[in-house]
Structure 1
Amino acid sequence: MSRSQRLFDLLQLLRCHKYPVTGDYLARELDVSVRTIYRDIATLQAQGAEIDGEAGLGYVLKPGFTLPPLMFTPDELEVLRLGAEWIARQADSEFSTSAQHAIAKIAAVLPPSHTWQPDDEIMRVGPLPAMTDLPLDMAQLRAAIRHQAKINLNYRDGQGSLSQRCVWPLLIGVFQQCYVLVAWCETREDFRHFRLDRIARFAPQAERYPHPRKILLRQWRQSAGIPAAKLGY
């Protein structure tokens, strides 16, 4: 591996972590000595990379530092294309359009050697089961999650029983045949999962829920036995 490639891989590795990681960990991941990591960190800092930390304590890349899209590997580009194609086929038309626009923006800044061609595809999304049309406004629901706003809803369970709930919306799970809202339910005083196609009425409130969404998501993952994602959480 060339030194330039190693420096790029080091930046990418730091980018995958929100909290400081030790030189020992970075050295193991890149299969080099800890001393090499220290030298590479110093080089990147001298070139303008905003890396905080020091030997023995760990290093973290400050938010906002970007890497050029032309540095995506072919496999990374294939993953992006495949994921966007899957999202584009879902029932949420706004997100479908956003997925298509995102791929177009990435493709526009790629060098000719990285341009996507139909004959170059290694994997492709096959036919998907039809998804039930949703009776609610997905954009409005996403806005409630971003603003950490409580919502009132009328929910019909699998047996057809209707109940009224006030919930704190946290996350939308996208499955092949349905969307699921992860929320804290004030009625049950616990985390609950609500299929969106079973929500008969949905009304965002002006009141925000009292605890930070990130903390609630962490508690939900722990209660559900779900490991934190390597990227983003």
Structure 2
Amino acid sequence: MNGNDTKRLSRLTAIITQLQTKRLLTATTLAEKFNVSIRTIYRDIRALEQAGVPIVTEDGKGYSLMEGYRVPPVMFTEAQANALITAEQLVLKNKDTSFIKNYTEAIEKVKSVLKYNLQDKTNLLSERTRFDQNNNQERNSSHLSDLQFALTNFRLTKIEYTNEQNKTTTRYIEAFALLSTENWLLVAYCRLRREFRFFRLDRINKLEILTDKFEPHKMTLQEYFDNYS
């Protein structure tokens, strides 16, 4: 997800919030609020309608939400909530402070409609995810969503992993944190090596989330860096 994608996600979320809190909004008002063109607002409204948001258009007056419509907690699955948190971490690296403020306010409103158990998990994921400043590198992985689930649900994970020496081993790991550098990296306790290790997600050949749970590691990500780096 690039900067334009995250900016649009922020704006779409904020438009829904605005429509929920005000009876009627014109395209001009929305364009001025988000500092975009009226044509962009038209595209955003169409995108929201295509996503199933019941927007009522009153000719010559503006837009409103269908009476009684609210963003319900069931709208977001755990994986979708995790995706929003990952996008939030990307946004926090943006250097435009007003953009950060607007997105943070929007995502807090999204979090407020999540079920309590999902709120706890998304907060944990937010604390255990870190991005560097280089957001333009291509990161290849098909396991990020599964590992987010394993991390927030404390589920033991079995992986087939190929290291830099091209040696493949089977590991049982306890996912702890996710780091985005030039590649996605997983910080996990490896039961084979009996210590915390870094695993590049693009080197994970196979992954299986097991039913066994592990005891949560009682430290923050910063404490991990202080103690193990």
Q: Same fold (TM over 0.5)?
A: no
Q: Which structure would you say has the larger Rg?
A: 1
More helix by share: 2
Q: TM-score when scaled to structure 1?
A: 0.41
Tell me the TM-score normalized by structure 2. Answer: 0.42
